[in-house]
């Protein structure tokens, strides 16, 4: 389990309610970012349900196959953004 720790800075005892609310929102945003960076939610979702070893192997094999197919498609159909563009202007065939 990953540990995430965020502390609220010391505040003046007579600070207003708005200042405390702003400080809490800032602290909560920092906490959410720390949890995301630590991957806590990812681990939780991954372990939310039991997955047998055979199912894990099938999933891993299926993901590898999909990755291989994607790479094959990228080789056969290169991205238009990476292709060299012609400097010819675009012209439409106009019927007069």
pLDDT score, position 78: 77
Residue pair 43/4 in contact by the 8 Å Cβ criterion = no
Q: Which residue has the tokens 């060299």?
A: 84
Domains of the chain by residue range: 11-47, 50-78
pLDDT score, position 94: 63
Burial of 34 (0-12, 13-18, 19+ CB in 10 A): middle
Question: Measuring CA to CA, how many Å separate 93 from each of 54, 86, 88, 96?
Answer: 60, 18, 15, 10
Please name the residue ranges forming H helices in the chain.
17-38, 40-46, 53-76
Average pLDDT per consecutive 10 residues, the chain (96 residues; last block may be shorter): 79 85 92 92 90 94 96 84 59 63
Say if pTM beats, i.e. exceeds, 0.75.
no
């Amino acid at each position: 389990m990953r540990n995430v720790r965020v502390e609220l800075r010391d505040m003046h005892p007579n600070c207003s309610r708005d200042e405390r609310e702003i400080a809490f929102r800032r602290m909560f945003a920092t906490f959410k970012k720390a949890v995301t960076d630590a991957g806590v939610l990812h681990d939780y979702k991954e372990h939310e349900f039991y997955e047998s070893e055979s199912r894990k192997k099938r999933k891993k094999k299926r993901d590898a196959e999909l990755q291989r197919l994607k790479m094959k498609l990228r080789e056969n159909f290169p991205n238009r953004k990476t292709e060299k563009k012609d400097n010819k202007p675009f012209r439409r065939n106009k019927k007069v």
